[in-house]
Amino acid sequence: MGRPAVLLLLLALLTPGVAIPVPPAVKALSSLRWSTGFTSRHFTGAKYSVHYILQKVDHFGFAVDKTFKQRYLIADEHWKKDGGSILFYTGNEGDIIWFCNNTGFMWDVAEELKAMLVFAEHRYYGESLPFGNNSFKDSRHLNYLTSEQALADFAMLIKHLKRTIPGAKNQPVIAIGGSYGGMLAAWFRMKYPHMVVGALAASAPIWQFGNLVSCGVFMEIVTTDFKKSGPNCSESIRRSWDAINRYSRTGAGLGWLSEALHLCTPLTNTQDVQHLKVWISETWINLAMVDYPYESDFLQPLPAWPIKVVCQYLRNPNVPDAQLLQNIFQALNVYYNYSGQASCLNVSETTTSSLGTQGWSYQACTEMVMPFCTNGIDDMFEPHSWNLREFSDDCFKQWGVRPRPAWIITTYGGKNISAHTNIIFSNGELDPWSGGGVTKDITDTLVAITIPEGAHHLDLRARNAFDPTAVLLARSLEVRHMKQWIKDYYANLRKKH
């Protein structure tokens, strides 16, 4: 899989013929990567220790009794044995150190909650590879890469921590995660309520499955972000696709296009153009996910409210194709060349190695089947319908497995989850993933927090001087809920003794 992870979503989303299945949460994660540099000031110098636990490769069968080493991190600087708590990050599809370094919220609240921080790596990512280098070899080796196995790992780990760390046994544990990790946090509370007193599920699109939400909602939110960030911005992008198509008809056109967009590698055929459009679409999606209110350090640095900056170049859709595409270049250039260092734009730019692209590709082909579509009317993209059959065939070609698109709903309840308690679903309204998230309270204890000016799990990011009031409020609500869960836990404990 030499292909860049950033392309994967749209390769699958917009070009159903490409044999790479949808890996949306890899995309979801991209935002985390971007923030590395920025949040470091909050916990540079904060210490964590690295640990390993032997886990069964298969929690749900006994024929394979093999084990593997799961990695996890502990930061206990602020932990108090008396009245403390354990914040447990339910690791998602990437290197756990990367998540640890990019979830500043946990570090910021550790002292107030007297909390031990635990970051558990998801199997098949980072160093937690059940079969080492062979882990992605074939469907037989990948067979234990499921959300259920990951949740079972978390449960075993919590038991282990409680058994082995003096003082941890009678402390409340809270699951915290963002994006796919947020789904895992919510699902963990649903399936193992005896293990955690509650869960903070940030930007967790638990309803981005089956037909729980419209397949178009994701791209509609991306479009809205651009529409609101500058006059005619989304319209300019909508018109750009045909402009590209018109230029792509001839060799000369391809040459002009390659030059106008300052591509490092000139376009030579239709497939290159297809990739180009996917790469551009992906850029708009990325921008929507990480449209944060302050300057942040991405692969290249980005300005505050980057979409607004991008849209300054896209005010006039009614210009000739050449002008429109030169404007598009300026817009892309904000994202890829804010530092001014790049001499050309690389459409096959690879993503950070912290992302487990192979693993997520497999997960998207099995359990995590998220339908996406565009119609070009409610969104600013070229129309593409969701085609499960083609998707399934691609998965079979690539991994030798077929997706079971209804399974996640069957096992985790879909929209019928009101029997559960103590889950916070937080979403940023700018975040395209909020379309598949829980944005309204379900019950008194299954609560939704929305952050109007928030992009992808802004609330999990470290404190920042430019944080809008809404995210400060969200975080303080989250802390209030967590404190209540902790208080209830200790009250029950006292009652028992």
Query: Interface with its own copies by CB under 8 A: which residues?
Result: 56, 59-65, 139-140, 142-144, 146, 148-149, 152, 155-156, 159, 191-194, 366, 400-402, 404, 406-407, 410-411, 413-414, 416-421, 492
Q: How far is CA 390 from the centre of its chain?
A: 24
Q: List the catalytic residue out of 76, 272, 379, 431.
A: 431
d(CA 254, CA 354): 34
Q: List the catalytic residue out of 35, 85, 179, 434.
A: 179
What is the b/e burial string over 406-440, where b = at least 16 CB atoms within 10 angstroms of the residue's CB? Answer: ebbbeebbbeebeebebbbbbbbbbbbbbbbbbee
Contact status, residue 471 vs residue 458, Cβ threshold 8 Å: yes
Of 158, 201, 189, 202, which Cα lies nearest the Cα of 70? 158
Q: Which is nearer to its own copies, 318 or 418 (CB)?
A: 418
Q: Which is nearer to its own copies, 377 or 493 (CB)?
A: 493
Contact status, residue 175 vs residue 460, Cβ threshold 8 Å: no
Cβ 423 to its own copies, closest distance in Å? 11
Q: Which residues contact 66 (CB under 8 A, 6 or more apart)?
A: 56, 57, 58, 130
Q: Verify whether residue 361 is a known catalytic residue.
A: no
Tokens of 256: 């002009």
Residue 462 to residues 37, 92, 103, 417, Cα–Cα distance (Å): 11, 19, 7, 30
Other C-beta atoms closer than 10 Å to the C-beta of 389 total 8
Q: Which is nearer to its own copies, 37 or 61 (CB)?
A: 61
Q: List the catalytic residue out of 384, 420, 456, 457.
A: 456
Cβ 48 to its own copies, closest distance in Å? 26
Which burial class, exposed, middle or buried, applies to 326 when counting CB atoms under 10 A from its CB (0-12, 13-18, 19+)? middle
Q: Verify whether residue 203 is a known catalytic residue.
A: no
Cβ 234 to its own copies, closest distance in Å? 35
Cβ 174 to its own copies, closest distance in Å? 14
Q: Which is nearer to its own copies, 8 or 195 (CB)?
A: 195
Q: Which is nearer to its own copies, 400 or 452 (CB)?
A: 400
Q: Which is nearer to its own copies, 154 or 329 (CB)?
A: 154
User: 3-state class of 164 per DSSP?
Assistant: helix
Cβ 192 to its own copies, closest distance in Å? 8
Other C-beta atoms closer than 10 Å to the C-beta of 104 total 21
Cβ 378 to its own copies, closest distance in Å? 26
Q: Verify whether residue 354 is a known catalytic residue.
A: no
Catalytic residue list: 179, 431, 456
